[in-house]
Amino acid sequence: MKPDRENIKVLVVDEDPEMRIFLSTVLSSGGFMPVITENGAEGLRRAAEEKPAIIIMDVMMSGKASFQIYHCFRQDKTLRDIPVIMLSALSRNTVFHFQKYQSPDFGNRVPEPDAYIEKPPEADELLDIVNSLLSGP
């Protein structure tokens, strides 16, 4: 039975149409209301409009770099406390090492994301992390 979460919005920011469909299906099956976007600029705009409970974003997107978008989420007073789950085909260590090389403030003034999942995510793992982040510490 689905949890009573149909009013809990989860913003998905991912360029890959197949991944957007997969994430939308998993979130819907978990009782959540997915808000789907295909790029970082649209994700920022929709986050401001929708005020989601959680943001799930791909690390590897074209256009404005994903970590720039992530920094925008963390700098915005109305969005900074929304938990962020990052998705990537690359390992967490590889991505964070590169990001710390590019931006020494990452992990210090700009906190790391609340969770990191390698693609393709397992449906149960994703829902467990979303539920855990919603439950708080």
How does pLDDT run across 72-99, given as a tens digit for each residue? 888 899 999 999 999 987 666 665 555 5
The DSSP result for 12-40, as a single string, is EE-S-HHHHHHHHHHHHHTT-EEEEESSH
- State the residue for tokens 């990001």: 99
pLDDT given for residue 93 in this prediction: 62
Tell me the whole-structure pTM to 2 decimals: 0.85
CATH topology of domain 9-135: Rossmann fold (3.40.50)
pLDDT higher than threshold 70 for residue 58: yes
Mean pLDDT of 103-132: 82
Indicate the pLDDT class of residue 28, thresholds 50, 70 and 90. Answer: very high
Beta strands 54-58 and 84-88 are parallel
CB of 134 within 8 A of CB of 8?
yes
> Using one digit for the tens of pLDDT, what is the confidence trace for 102-116?
555 555 556 788 998
Q: In the chain, where are the structural domains located?
A: 9-135
